[in-house]
A and B are shown apart, each in its own frame.
Chain A
Amino acid sequence: QKEVEQDPGPLSVPEGAIVSLNCTYSNSAFQYFMWYRQYSRKGPELLMYTYSSGNKEDGRFTAQVDKSSKYISLFIRDSQPSDSATYLCAMKSQGAQKLVFGQGTRLTINP
C-alpha cells in the first residue's frame, strides 16, 4: 500500500464548477501538507501549504486537512480553464527532509 493515495483521474468539469481533489494517507506522523499545481511541460509549483489540521483559503482555493481521517482535500471554486493542470498532493512529518507525493490528478476545465 502506498503511503499517499491520490486518484489520477482524469477529471473533466465545466467552467464555473466547484472542484474537489483528494488524497488519503497512512502515516499518522505527517504534519505538513502541500498541494502543487503542474502545467503541461512545466515543473510543479506550490499552490497551498498547511501545517497540521484545519482549513486554509487563498482566493478561489481552499485546502482542508482532516488528520483524524488521514484525508486532505483541495477545493477550487468558480473553476477556470486556466486551472487545467495536474494537481499533486505532498506531505511530510516533522524532521523529515523528504516529501511524499501522491500520483497527481489531471484536471481539465472545459469552457
Chain B
Amino acid sequence: DVKVTQSSRYLVKRTGEKVFLECVQDMDHENMFWYRQDPGLGLRLIYFSYDVKMKEKGDIPEGYSVSREKKERFSLILESASTNQTSMYLCASKFSSGANVLTFGAGSRLTVL
C-alpha cells in the first residue's frame, strides 16, 4: 500500500560528497515536492516540479538541485554536502488539480559529518 517511496531512510555522508535522494510515487501525480524538516523550523520547501522536466525553486533551494526525467520519479541532489544540510528530507506528491492534498513519503534522515 506504499504510495510515495523514498529509497533511503537513513544516510550518513561526509562533507563534500555528492548525495542523491530518490523519490518514486505510484499515484500518477503531476506535482512532486522536496521539503526539509528541522526542529523549530517546520517544513521548508526546497524545490518542486509540476510536470516532467519542469522544476521551480522553493523557499530554500541554495545548495540543492533536482531532476525529474519521469513522471513518477523526483530526485534531490546535493552537489557538495555540508554539515548544515543534516536534516530530515521529505518527498511529497499530489495531483495538479482537485483536492490538492499532499501525500508524503516516510522521509530520509541525512547526516553530514
Contacts and interface: CB of A to CB of B under 8 A. Distances in A.
B42 A101 contact: yes
B106 to A, nearest CB: 5
B96 interface: yes
Interface stretch (B12-20, B43-51, B60-68, B71-79): B43-51
Interface in B97-113: 99-107, 109
Interface string B56-97: 001000000000000000000000000000000010100010
B42 A88 contact: yes
B91 to A, nearest CB: 8
Contact of A42 (B43, B96, B101, B107): B107
Nearest to B50: A97
A24 to B, nearest CB: 14
Interface string A6-40: 10100000000000000000000000101010000
B42 A92 contact: no
Contact of B41 (A42, A44, A46, A103): A103
A101 B43 contact: yes
Given A44-B90, A98-B48, A8 B100 contact: no
A43 B104 contact: yes
B90 A92 contact: no
Given A97-B50, A101-B42, A32 B100 contact: yes
B31 interface: yes
Interface residues of A, number: 22
A79 to B, nearest CB: 23
The 8 A-B residue pairs whose C-beta atoms are closest, nearest first, are A43-B104, A103-B42, A101-B43, A43-B106, A44-B104, A43-B107, A43-B105, A46-B101
Contact of A97 (B43, B96, B104, B107): B96
Given A97-B48, A98-B48, A46 B107 contact: no
A34 B58 CA distance: 20
Interface in A92-107: 92, 97-99, 101-104
6 contacts: A6-B42, A42-B106, A42-B107, A43-B105, A44-B102, A101-B43
